[in-house]
Amino acid sequence: MKLFVGTPLEIPYLKFKKQKLGVFSLGILLLLYTALLFEGFLAPYGPNTKFRDKSYHPPHRVRFFKEGKFIGPYVHEYVLVNPIFKSYQVDRSKVHRIRFFVPGEPYKLLFFIPSTLHLFGTTDGAPVFLLGTDNLGRDLLSRMIYGAKISLTIGFVSIFLALFGGILIGGLSGYIGGITDWLIMRLAEIIILLPTFYFFLFLRSVMPSDISPGQRFFYITAILAIPSWAGSARGIRNWVLSLKNADFVVAAVIAGASKVTILLRHIIPQIRHILILNITLSVPGIILGEAGLSFLNLGITEPSVSWGMLMNAAMDINILLRYPWLLSPALIIIVTVFSFFAFGYALKDALDPRS
Amino acid sequence: MNPLLLQIENLTTEFQTVTHRTPAVEKLNLTLQENEILGVAGESGCGKSVTILSVLRLLPPNGTIHKESKILYQERNLLQLSEKEMNSLRGKDLSIVFQEPIGSFNPLFPVGKQIMEVIRTHEPEVPVKQAWERAIELFRQVRIPHPELRIQDYPFQFSGGMLQRALIALALACSPRILFADEPTTALDASTQIGILDLLLERKEATGMSIFFVSHDLSLLEGISDRICVLYAGRMVEACTAKELHTHPLHPYTQDLLEAVPRKGTFKKEKRLYSIQGKVPDPQNRPTGCKYHPRCSKAFDRCRKEEPELFGNESHLVRCWLYVDAH
Amino acid sequence: MSMHIEVTGLVKQYSLKAGLFARSKDRVHAVNGVSFSIPRGQTLGIVGESGCGKTTTARLLLRVVEPDAGVFKFEEVENVFSLPEEELKTVRSRMQYIFQDPYNSLNPKMLVRDIVTEPIRYRGNYTRRELERKAAELLEHVGLSPMDSRKYPHEFSGGQRQRISIARALSSKPSFIVCDEPVSSLDVSIQSQILNLLIDLQKELGITYLFIAHNLAVVFYMSDTMAVMYTGKIVEMGPSEELYRNPLHPYTQLLIKTLDSEARKDPLVKNDSGEVPSLIHYPTGCTFFPRCPRRQPNCLEAFPPLEKKGLEHQVACYFASPESSNSKAGGKYSENLSDDS
Ligand SMILES: Nc1ncnc2c1ncn2[C@@H]1O[C@H](COP(=O)(O)OP(=O)(O)OP(=O)(O)O)[C@@H](O)[C@H]1O
Ligand SMILES: Nc1ncnc2c1ncn2[C@@H]1O[C@H](COP(=O)(O)OP(=O)(O)O)[C@@H](O)[C@H]1O
Ligand code: SF4
Ligand code: SF4
Ligand SMILES: [Mg+2]
Ligand SMILES: [Mg+2]
């Protein structure tokens, strides 16, 4: 009987496949990231489209039967009855059928193909709000879909920034050694020891205020990257130190390999899976960090949209009690963060040769 | 004869691999007396480490011990203890020095700190400062130069030999009753090796502990053990006192092992070393009959068909058809 | 006999890894003036305890570690140590290294094929096909199957890995190979296979070996000439048979005693403190003094020079002698010393 000898990737793959929760989470994450690409198509309206007289509009209830007969999805119109407390009443006489692939606001499919086609909407001009609206009458569902762009990418952009810095600084620190190494590592330790969120707040307080949304995104990303940078720099430096003198690296030196070859062929491959883990397990923290900052109105601001910023609207308990649908962005944040962790730990088990 | 401290009865340990259940150790009987050194010899993959891991219940999750097996320590069957009871024995009464020093320390903490932690885990009443001093004293005992400086170093700052000494310090930290030593000196040089063995012997005399000493170097075992047991393919193939083994090695495997190492005073131009052909069979492909027959130069027909039992008497057991008529 | 390799006055001091406030003048005296030579096709064995500078010496020769002083004459090269980087690369292809730990010396993420051909990949222009053929040849040469070239190191046992390591060392057709404890982490049965392979390769290809091991019997067996190292210096050197039958340095005598299975009962071994002096605060006199059963006050004046005691036998000891004649007096002296303290 022949023994099963997997390639280095085959075995982790088999092990990962066995972990139901991990596979499921990966599915969710893939779904979320695909949605991000098709935001304009999936969202019925633009993120900043305001509907007059529709502020704090509750989520529409989707119905399928009219007088016992199936007629497909439709909604009734909700009429504003109290403009002060924004209470609405259902007007059963008005029916708006929900159609699929309807024309609507123009947007760019995949960010470059001009299009007006939306996944769903009404054809009679009446809006449909599946998750309700906010104080300015903007569709929460659309805003959540557009918010995914910042919330889901900020984690990756900033972790890559952190890793790039980490590999560069940690790698150099390990290679050079001496006082440089000592200083960098003490700095990193201080950063690691500081409570992360207060550190964000501190960094945020030195950020200039009169900047464009694009610059703002960049600053916030950088702020979020710094604590992870310190962690990965220290980890990578320790790995470089322990690998620098590994016999196979010495063998490569004798063989005549250059420093770059040694780093790329011999050192980085050994820590590749650690880097991957580092990424998956750090992203949710950064997503939460962004949410936290934006929740306090210190992160992403109008006209950009992020999930944390949407949560900002739900800050006041009185408002929240009256308009509970404003909390729905919290749900998507929790699902995303949970998926990342579940996926990360499944990956960790799969990559761990001892399990 | 000293009273028995550890009795391994009928130990069978299996591993579940992707395709097979493989018996790593089969029906092993061994005893360890108080204040005794038992030498266990055999090539890589013969089941030496698995025996130790079974006794300490440190097998990886895919390893199982048969229900009929018993491991008696101070009249308690270790296989029936709860994980918690086992934990309080491990590291204290039953201590181990591993083959691979590097995996036994966490690379991210100073060695001294790790020794201190072991002391404080098992003896929480010891104050930190005293534990630290004890760690330094242990470093001194295993002859690490500049113990008060080296104690703060990280594992990667030690050479292999130094790390192995630090590991022995770790194992001796709580004065164990039985020290399981899995090839503890294989990585050390001749004079250090003797020094460490001497140290182990001295501690053995001082504390009355027993040592379960695994090594593939028979001549080393002959020098330090009271009794020696040779394992092959998960079975005991020969067991007797060290003296007896030195003067009358009976099993062909034992004899071949002794022939394969350069003896003192032999030089390459005088004599080519004997190489045992082939390798230890994988547990799932063990041959029929005597497990050693494909490599044995004395094998005959019967060896290929039937597996020999242990022949001989208490003082010298041997699993080989050549000795079926002995005694 | 003309020498293939001649090393003179090799010195290496490591500066201690300093924190911000550590004194940087503290240095580890790893190798302190080592000289030896090896005729072509022969083996020089080095023994000595851990930390005495064997590996450092070996790595200095390949300039994996840069020496502080010394001259290394190798074949037509007058001094390998003064070669510029580029020339070093070509010369270094004629020297190779076999490591002790078969698990740490092969990159776990590389195919065996790429591992064994690494020493020729960065030199000369080989096509992928040529490299593949070369890998198959090399593996066959060391007793593995050409099929093994597409596997990863983790699929091999320790002994097989060491064969891969030897195949890698052979790939650039070296004339000189450093074997740094090549069998120390192998099983006895595998050890003899690897030792026999090394001997066969030497006979076939005329390779010169620097053979390091801590197992004395193995070094005696493998070497034509042997050097005993202590605290970064050679304390005794000579043909291995001569050294075995007539050791003159007390440290060599101690080592040879340890070959006996009853060694620990020998008073010389039993009373040995094993205390190695600090390599940081390197003592002025003989470094073996604290352990020496024959020591005299004047041993502390300076380290004894390595002096000829026979045709090819050199010893660094003021009271070098075959053990029997002097050990009694020495023993008494050391007893007196320990009484005082
Ligand atoms: N986790 C495991 N899964 C499957 N088989 C195992 C496992 N651990 C050990 N084995 C097998 O059990 C047998 C005994 O292994 P063990 O490690 O006890 O050998 P050993 O005599 O200690 O050798 P070494 O000197 O290499 O440590 C071997 O055939 C080995 O392949
Ligand atoms: N990179 C290093 N930094 C500081 N000291 C070192 C370094 N490498 C080796 N040493 C020291 O140099 C001495 C000789 O080491 P080495 O040649 O590796 O010994 P051996 O091979 O005989 O075991 C030892 O004291 C060791 O601790
Ligand atoms: S039983 Fe036969 S094959 Fe087995 S060791 Fe004895 S002689 Fe060899
Ligand atoms: S020089 Fe003196 S101290 Fe050194 S080995 Fe010789 S007798 Fe001993
Ligand atoms: Mg083992
Ligand atoms: Mg070494």
Q: In this predicted model, which residue has the larger pLDDT, C60 or A311?
A: C60
Instruction: Please give the pLDDT value at position B326.
Output: 58
Span A66-87, mean pLDDT?
78
* Banded model confidence at residue B100, pLDDT cuts 50, 70, 90: low
- Is the pLDDT at C331 greater than 50? The verdict is no
Span B195-212, mean pLDDT?
83
Nearest CA to ligand 4 atom 5: C317
pLDDT in tens, B268-287: 888 888 888 877 887 778 88
- Most confidently predicted of A232-241, B136-145, C230-239: C230-239
Is the Cβ pair B273, C218 closer than 8 Å?
no
- Is the pLDDT at B155 greater than 50? The verdict is yes
Nearest CA to ligand 1 atom 25: B44
> What spacing in Å lies between the alpha carbon of C56 and ligand 2's midpoint?
6
Is the Cβ pair A255, C97 closer than 8 Å?
no
Q: Which of B298, B306, B323 to mutate to test the pocket of ligand 3 (most atoms within 8 A of CB)?
A: B298
User: Closest ligand 3 atom, CA of B321?
Assistant: 1
Q: What is the DSSP letter of A96?
A: E
Is the Cβ pair C64, A258 closer than 8 Å?
no
Q: In this predicted model, which residue has the larger pLDDT, A4 or B186?
A: B186
Nearest CA to ligand 2 atom 21: C55
**C53 C-beta closer than 6 A to ligand 2:** yes
Domains and their CATH numbers in chain A: 60-128 (no CATH), 143-351 (1.10.3720.10)
Compare all CA atoms of chain B with the CA of A245 and give the residue at the minimum distance.
B156
Nearest to B230 by CA among B35, B99, B38: B38
**B37 C-beta closer than 6 A to ligand 1:** no
- Is the pLDDT at C18 greater than 70? The verdict is no
- Most confidently predicted of A26-35, A226-235, B156-165, C228-237: C228-237
- Most confidently predicted of A261-275, B13-27, B29-43: B29-43
Q: Which chains does chain A touch, 3 or more C-beta pairs < 8 A?
A: B, C
Instruction: Please give the pLDDT value at position A5.
Output: 47
Pairing of strands C225-230, C233-239: antiparallel
- Is the pLDDT at B231 greater than 90? The verdict is yes
Span B46-68, mean pLDDT?
89
- What percent of chain C is helix, strand and coil (3-state, nearest 5)? 40, 20, 40
How near does any CA of chain C get to the CA of B43, in Å? Answer: 6
**B42 C-beta closer than 6 A to ligand 1:** yes
Compare all CA atoms of chain B with the CA of C269 and give the residue at the minimum distance.
B194
Instruction: Please give the pLDDT value at position C209.
Output: 95
Span C307-315, mean pLDDT?
90
Select from C14, C186, C187, C191 the residue whose CB has the most chain B CBs within 10 Å, as the one to mutate to test that interface.
Answer: C187
- Is the pLDDT at B227 greater than 80? The verdict is yes
What is the number of other CB atoms lying within 10 angstroms of the CB of residue A159?
A: 26
Span C74-100, mean pLDDT?
90
CA distances (Å), origin B217, targets A298, B221, C223:
68, 7, 21
**B296 C-beta closer than 6 A to ligand 3:** yes
* Banded model confidence at residue B140, pLDDT cuts 50, 70, 90: confident
**B263 C-beta closer than 6 A to ligand 3:** no
* SS3 sequence of chain B: CCCEEEEEEEEEEEEECCCCEEEEEEEEEEEEECCCEEEEECCCCCCHHHHHHHHCCCCCCCEEECCCCEEEECCEEHHHCCHHHHHHHECCCEEEECCCHHHHCCCCCCHHHHHHHHHHHHCCCCCHHHHHHHHHHHHHHCCCCCHHHHCCCCHHHCCHHHHHHHHHHHHHCCCCCEEEEECCCCCCCHHHHHHHHHHHHHHHHHHCCEEEEECCCHHHHHHHCCEEEEEECCEEEEEEEHHHHHHCCCCHHHHHHHHHCCCCCCCCCCCCCCCCCCCCCCHHHCCCCCCCHHHCCCCCHHHHHCCCCCEEECCEEECCHHHCCCC
Ion ligand 5: residues, CB < 5 A = B 49
- Is the pLDDT at B6 greater than 90? The verdict is yes
Contacts of C98 in chain A (CB under 8 A): none
What share of chain B has pLDDT > 70, as a percent?
94
Instruction: Please give the pLDDT value at position A82.
Output: 77
Which segment of A173-182, B209-218, C77-86 scores lowest on mean pLDDT?
A173-182
Q: In this predicted model, which residue has the larger pLDDT, C86 or A353?
A: C86
Which segment of A84-93, A143-152, C285-294 scores lowest on mean pLDDT?
A84-93
Contact status, residue B190 vs residue C47, Cβ threshold 8 Å: yes
pLDDT in tens, A100-120: 887 878 887 777 788 887 878
User: Closest ligand 4 atom, CA of C249?
Assistant: 5
Span A188-193, mean pLDDT?
80
Nearest to A266 by CA among A275, A254, A257: A257
Q: Where are the domains of chain B?
A: 4-93+176-326, 103-175
* Banded model confidence at residue A151, pLDDT cuts 50, 70, 90: confident
Q: What are phi and psi of A340, to 5 degrees?
A: -60, -45
> What spacing in Å lies between the alpha carbon of C13 and ligand 4's midpoint?
24
Q: In this predicted model, which residue has the larger pLDDT, B293 or C324?
A: B293
What share of chain C has pLDDT > 70, as a percent?
88
- Is the pLDDT at C174 greater than 60? The verdict is yes
Contact status, residue B204 vs residue B35, Cβ threshold 8 Å: yes
- Is the pLDDT at C332 greater than 70? The verdict is no
Compare all CA atoms of chain C with the CA of A266 and give the residue at the minimum distance.
C107
Q: How far apart are CA C85 and CA B294, in angstroms?
A: 52
Mean pLDDT of chain B: 86
Which segment of C267-271, C299-303, C317-321 scores lowest on mean pLDDT?
C267-271
Q: In this predicted model, which residue has the larger pLDDT, B22 or B17?
A: B22
* Banded model confidence at residue A18, pLDDT cuts 50, 70, 90: confident
State the ligand closest to the CA atom of B294: 3
Q: In this predicted model, which residue has the larger pLDDT, B177 or A237?
A: B177
> What spacing in Å lies between the alpha carbon of B321 and ligand 3's midpoint?
6
Contact status, residue B295 vs residue B288, Cβ threshold 8 Å: no
Is the Cβ pair C244, B265 closer than 8 Å?
yes
- Amino acid letter, B76: R
Select from B15, B16, B17, B18 the residue whose CB has the most chain A CBs within 10 Å, as the one to mutate to test that interface.
Answer: B18
- Is the pLDDT at A2 greater than 70? The verdict is no
- Is the pLDDT at A145 greater than 80? The verdict is yes
Which segment of A40-54, A118-132, C9-23 scores lowest on mean pLDDT?
C9-23
Contacts of B18 in chain A (CB under 8 A): 3-4
Q: Which chains does chain C touch, 3 or more C-beta pairs < 8 A?
A: A, B
pLDDT in tens, C116-159: 999 888 877 888 888 999 999 899 888 888 888 888 888 787 78
**C341 C-beta closer than 6 A to ligand 2:** no
Q: What is the dihedral of CA B188, B189, B194, B196, to 10 degrees?
A: -30
Instruction: Please give the pLDDT value at position A34.
Output: 86
Q: What is the pTM of this model?
A: 0.71
| Three-state DSSP state, C208 | strand
Contact status, residue A142 vs residue A327, Cβ threshold 8 Å: no
Span A262-289, mean pLDDT?
77
Is the Cβ pair C104, A246 closer than 8 Å?
yes
Q: Does domain B4-93+176-326 have CATH number 3.40.50.300?
A: yes
Is the Cβ pair A254, C109 closer than 8 Å?
no
Contacts of A7 in chain C (CB under 8 A): 152
Does A9 contact chain C (CB < 8 Å)? no
